[in-house]
Amino acid sequence: MRIIVFFDLPVVKKSERKIYAQFRRFLLNDGYDMIQFSVYSRLCNGTDMANKHLKRLISVLPDKGSVRCLTVTEKQYGEMKFLVGKPTVKERKINTNQLSLF
């Protein structure tokens, strides 16, 4: 399962840029990988883990801007078409077969 986060945050003021950087840093520290600018994806081992990370995401949402989240299966994610560009190195190396189980 994958969680995909799309966000558009204001970055006009210095305080807004700080909030943007904090939110982006949270995503990276929580295991999300950047797919495109302001689009991040995280691999999850099932619905329970996805719900856990959604709750964590909700707890750090900024007050302004737009943040959206989409949960898709690995099969649905794998059907994504590249119209321009190629998969990143991380996207080529990581798949559900390599997901560590603890």
Instruction: Sketch the domain layout of the chain as residue ranges.
Output: 2-98
In the chain, % of residues over pLDDT 70: 87
Q: Which pLDDT score is estimated for 23?
A: 97
The third-level CATH classification (topology) of the domain covering 2-98 is Alpha-Beta Plaits (3.30.70)
Tell me the C-alpha distance between 85 and 56, whole Å: 31
Tokens 């649905």 map to which residue? 76
Q: Mean pLDDT of all residues in the chain?
A: 89
The residue type at 16:
E
Question: 86 or 58: which carries more pLDDT confidence?
Answer: 58
Q: Which pLDDT score is estimated for 93?
A: 60
Q: Which pLDDT score is estimated for 97?
A: 52
Q: Which pLDDT score is estimated for 101?
A: 47
Residue 40 has pLDDT above 90, yes or no: yes
